[in-house]
Structure 1
Amino acid sequence: MIESKNHQRGVQLFELGRFNEAIPYLSQAITESVYNYASKYYLALCFFNIEAFDKSSKIIDELLSETPNEGNLFFLKSQIAAQLDKATEALNLVNQSIELNPYEADYFGFKGMLLMGSKKFEEALHTVNEGLQLNPKNNACLNLRARLLTKLNRKEEADETVEHLLFDNPEDDYAHANVGWVALENGDTKKALHHFKQALQLNPNMQYAREGMSTALKSKNFLYKWYLKYAFWMSKQSSRNQWIFIIGLYVVYRLGIGLLEASDLTFLIIPLVVVYLVFVLGGWIMESLSNTILLADSYGKYLLTDNEKYSGYAFGGLIFAGFASVIVYFILGNPLFMLWGFGFFCALLPLPGSFLREKKRTRMIGLFYGIAMICVGLFGIFFTGDIMLLGGIILGMMVVYTWLSNFIS
C-alpha cells in the first residue's frame, strides 16, 4: 500500500519533534484510508508527547480492538499510566507488552524504571540485565543499570557500566546527564559538573541535565552537601523503613530529653532541641533555601525552573517578612508583630517547598496549608485576643504538617 502524502508529512514532523504540527496531517491521513494503523499509532504518539493522555489512550484502545496482540500498544498505555502516577497499572501493562513481545529490550528498561520507582532495586536490576541480554547496547537499560548499581552501593560495577556507556555513546546527552547523577550520588561533585556541562552542550534544553547542574552547584554549600547525602540515603529506603527511621529518631530525641533532665544536664537540652529541629526540619527548607541562594547567583539562576524560582522567591520573601516583623516588635513592643514573624517563619516549611512537589495534589496541599498558617497569624486577632493561643495553633499546624507531609508523599 502506498502511504498518503499526509501520513508521510505527519511522520516527518513527528520525527522532528513538531508534534502539534504533525497532528492535522495524521488526522487527515486517517480519513483517507481504512488501512490507517500506522497513522493512528503516530497520532497517539503525538498526543502522548504533548501530554494529551486522554486522546492518546482513546486512540490506543481503538487500535487494540482491531489488533489486540500488539506489544507496542500496551507499552504506550503503560507509559501513559506512569505519567498519571498509576504505577501498578503501568507495571501490569508493560508486563503484557513483554508477554506479547519478549525480545524488545526497551520494554525491560521501562519495567526496570517502574520497579526502581517502587524501591525494588534488586528486582529492577535483574529486569534490566534481562534487557541487556537481548541488546547489550540498549541505552535505556545501560543508563538504568548504572543508577541501580549506585543505589545498591555496588560502586565499582556502576563505574564500569558508566565507562561502557560513555564509550558507546560519547555524544549522547542523556548518557552524560545520567553519569553526572551517578557521580553526584557517589559524592563526586567535580565529575558530576563536568558531565552535566557536557550534556547541556549537546542539548541546552535538557531539563534532566539542568536539574543535575543546579543540584551539583548547590552541593558546593557544606550544609546542602550533607543534606544531599541524607536525601540520597533516604531515597534508597522503602516507605516502611523511612517511617521507622523518622519515628525512631523522635523516640531517641524524647529519650535524650528525659535522660538530660534526670541527670541535671538541662543546659544541654536546648542544643539537643536545636540539632533535632535542624535535622528534622532541614529537609523541608534546604531545597528552597538553596534556590534562594542560586537566585542571587548571576549564572546559577538560569538553571532554575520556574517552580524552583517561585520556591526561592517564597522562601526569601518569608524570611524577609519574618525578620522585619521581629525587628518591628523590638522597636514598638507590640506582641502582635512577634506573632506575625512566628507565622512567617513557620510557613517556611509548607509554602516554599510546595512549588517543588511533583504531584499537583501535594503541591496544592502545601501551598494552601502555608497560606492558612499565615492567615492565622494575620487575621486570628479578629477572633481572639489571646496571642499565645494563636501562636500555639500555628506551632501545632507546623508539627502536624511534618507528619502530614511524609504521609501524602
Structure 2
Amino acid sequence: MESKNHLRGVQLFELGRFKEAIPLLQKAVTESVDNYVSKYYLALCFFNVDAYDKSSIIIDELLQNTPNEGNLFFLKAQIASRLDKIPEALNLVNQSIALDPYQADYFGFKGALLMDKKKFEPALEFVNEGLKLDPKNTACLNIRARLLTKLNRKEEAEETVEHILYDNAEDDYAHANVGWVALESGDTQKALHHFRQALQINPNMQYAREGMSTALKSKNFFYKWYLKYAFWMSNQSSRNQWIFIIGLYLVYRFGIRLLQASDLTFLIIPLVIAYLLFVLGGWIMEPLSNTILLADSYGKYLLKDREKYSGYAFGGLALAGLLSVGAYFALGNELFMLWGFTFFCALLPLPGSFLKEKKNARMIGLFYGIAMICVGLLGVFFTDDIMLNGGIVLGMMVVYTWVSNFIS
C-alpha cells in the first residue's frame, strides 16, 4: 500500500504545486528507500522548480538500480537542454529512444533539439515519426507547426495549427505556440488573438507574455520589418549569418567605390545612411520598441524588468542627445554637439545590454556604454580637441558592433 505522503505528493505534483509536493515526497522516500515512483516524482518536482542538480542526483541513483529506463534518460536530456548542453541532450534522448522507441514525446523532444540547431528537415522527420506513434501528441504537433513555418510550408503549418487547436482548445501552450507561428508568418492580428487566449487561461505564462509584447511591437511599421528580418536571420546557420553580414558589407563598399567612380556621388550619403540604419537597426530596434511600449497603458505590463530598464535607458539617452544637439544650435557651443553625439552612440551598447541573456554579456555592454559616455563627457578635461574625442567615441561604437557578436 502506497503511503499517504506519496499519494498527496503526487496529487500536488499533478496540480502543478511542485514546491509543496517536495517535502511530502521526501518523507515518502524515507518511508521506503527503494520506492522508485516516489523518487521519480521527486526528481520531476526538482526539475520543475529549476533545481537541476538535485534532480540529477536522484536520477543517477535510480539509474544504478534501473539502468534501462528510457524515461530517466529523457529527464536527464531535458535537464541538459535547460543547461544549454545540446550535444549531451541529443545523446541522452537517443538513449531514451533506443530503450523505448514507442514514446512520441521522445521523438518530439529530439525534433525540438534539432530545430534549435537549425536542422529543420531532420527535425521534421523525427517529429513525424512521433506523430505516427501518437497522431494527437501535443508536443509533436506544436514543434511540427513551428518547423513547417520555418521551412516556409505555410499551408501545411496552418493545417497543423488547426489540429492543435481542435484537440487543445483550452491549452495555454497550444494557443501561445499558435501565436508565435502566426507572428512568424506575419499575421499580427491572429497572433494577438491567440496570445490573448493563452493569457486568459494562464495569466502568468511567460512564453505568451513575451509573444504578446512582440506582437504589440510589430504593430509598428519599422519593427514589423525588423521582426521579419530577425526571424529570417534566426533561421539561418551561424555560418550563413556571417556570410550574409560580410557579403552585405562588401556590397556596400563596392557600391561606394562605384558611385565615387561615376557621376552619382550625390547618392553616397543616402547609401551610407541606409547601410548604417540597416546594420545598426538590430541594436536599437528592441530597446526603441520597449521605450514605445512603456508609454502604452497596457503594453508596459507585458515588459519584464530588464526590458523596462532597456526602454528607460534608450529613452533617457535619446532625450539627452536631442537636448544636447538643441543646445548646440541654440548656443553655438561645439561641446554640446560632442555630448549629443556621445549619447546617440551610447544607444548601441547601453540599452541593449539589459537584454542580453548571459550575465557576462550584460555587464560588458553596460560598462562599455558607461565608458563611452565618460570618454565623451570627461575627455575635454584631457584634450581640447573635440574632434578627437568624437572620433574616439565613434571608434568605440564601431568596435562594439564587432565585439558584441562574440560576447553574445
The interval holding the TM-score normalised by the smaller chain is over 0.9
Structure 1 vs Structure 2 CA RMSD:
1.7
Match of 2:204 in 1: 205
- 1:135-168 alpha-carbon deviations (Å, 9 max, x no partner): 1100000011011001001111111111111112
TM-score (norm 1): 0.95
Aligned-pair CA distance for 1:250: 0.5
Match of 1:125 in 2: 124
Match of 1:290 in 2: 289
Aligned-pair CA distance for 1:385: 4.2
Aligned-pair CA distance for 1:333: 4.1
- 1:345-387 alpha-carbon deviations (Å, 9 max, x no partner): 1121122122222333333332232222223223334444443
Q: Mean Cα displacement is larger for which, 318-327 or 293-302? A: 318-327
Q: Decide whether aligned partners of structure 1 residues 3 and 322 sit closer, same or farther in structure 2, where only a CA change above 3 A counts.
A: same
1:232 lines up with 2:231 in the alignment: yes
Match of 1:98 in 2: 97
Q: What amino acid is the match of 2:135?
A: P
1:44 lines up with 2:43 in the alignment: yes
Q: What amino acid is the match of 2:389?
A: L
* In 1: Cα distance, 2:6 partner to 2:213 partner: 41
Q: Mean Cα displacement is larger for which, 129-138 or 198-207? A: 198-207
* In 2: Cα distance, 1:49 partner to 1:395 partner: 46
Match of 1:75 in 2: 74
1:141 lines up with 2:140 in the alignment: yes
Aligned-pair CA distance for 1:73: 1.5
Q: What amino acid is the match of 1:203?
A: N
Q: What amino acid is the match of 1:328?
A: A
* In 1: Cα distance, 2:211 partner to 2:365 partner: 24
Q: What amino acid is the match of 2:341?
A: F
* In 2: Cα distance, 1:81 partner to 1:361 partner: 21
* In 2: Cα distance, 1:375 partner to 1:83 partner: 38
Q: Decide whether aligned partners of structure 1 residues 382 and 62 sit closer, same or farther in structure 2, where only a CA change above 3 A counts.
A: farther
Match of 2:241 in 1: 242
Match of 2:355 in 1: 356
Q: What amino acid is the match of 1:50?
A: V
TM-score (norm 2): 0.95
* In 2: Cα distance, 1:12 partner to 1:390 partner: 66
- 1:261-304 alpha-carbon deviations (Å, 9 max, x no partner): 11132221111111001111111111111111111011111222
Q: What amino acid is the match of 1:182?
A: V
Match of 1:56 in 2: 55
* In 2: Cα distance, 1:255 partner to 1:201 partner: 53
* In 1: Cα distance, 2:24 partner to 2:43 partner: 13
Aligned-pair CA distance for 1:243: 0.5
* In 2: Cα distance, 1:365 partner to 1:50 partner: 29
Q: What amino acid is the match of 1:42?
A: Y
1:177 lines up with 2:176 in the alignment: yes
- 1:193-221 alpha-carbon deviations (Å, 9 max, x no partner): 22112222222222111211121111111
* In 1: Cα distance, 2:132 partner to 2:277 partner: 47
Q: Decide whether aligned partners of structure 1 residues 161 and 328 sit closer, same or farther in structure 2, where only a CA change above 3 A counts.
A: same
Q: What amino acid is the match of 2:296?
A: D
Q: Decide whether aligned partners of structure 1 residues 206 and 23 sit closer, same or farther in structure 2, where only a CA change above 3 A counts.
A: same
Q: What amino acid is the match of 1:287?
A: E
Q: Mean Cα displacement is larger for which, 345-354 or 275-284? A: 345-354
Match of 1:335 in 2: 334
SS in 1 for 2:170: coil
Identical aligned pairs, as a percentage?
83
Q: What amino acid is the match of 1:185?
A: E
SS in 2 for 1:358: coil
Consecutive unaligned residues of structure 1, counting only runs of 5 or more, are none
Q: Mean Cα displacement is larger for which, 269-278 or 330-339? A: 330-339
* In 1: Cα distance, 2:134 partner to 2:300 partner: 40
- 1:303-332 alpha-carbon deviations (Å, 9 max, x no partner): 222222121111111111222232333444
Q: Decide whether aligned partners of structure 1 residues 38 and 364 sit closer, same or farther in structure 2, where only a CA change above 3 A counts.
A: farther
Q: How many residues align?
A: 408
* In 1: Cα distance, 2:383 partner to 2:39 partner: 63
Q: Mean Cα displacement is larger for which, 225-234 or 10-19? A: 10-19
Match of 1:220 in 2: 219
Q: Mean Cα displacement is larger for which, 67-76 or 362-371? A: 362-371
Q: Mean Cα displacement is larger for which, 205-214 or 242-251? A: 205-214
Match of 1:255 in 2: 254
Q: Decide whether aligned partners of structure 1 residues 376 and 55 sit closer, same or farther in structure 2, where only a CA change above 3 A counts.
A: farther
Q: What amino acid is the match of 2:185?
A: N
Match of 2:274 in 1: 275
Q: What amino acid is the match of 1:192?
A: A
* In 1: Cα distance, 2:22 partner to 2:318 partner: 48
Match of 1:161 in 2: 160
Q: Decide whether aligned partners of structure 1 residues 364 and 79 sit closer, same or farther in structure 2, where only a CA change above 3 A counts.
A: farther
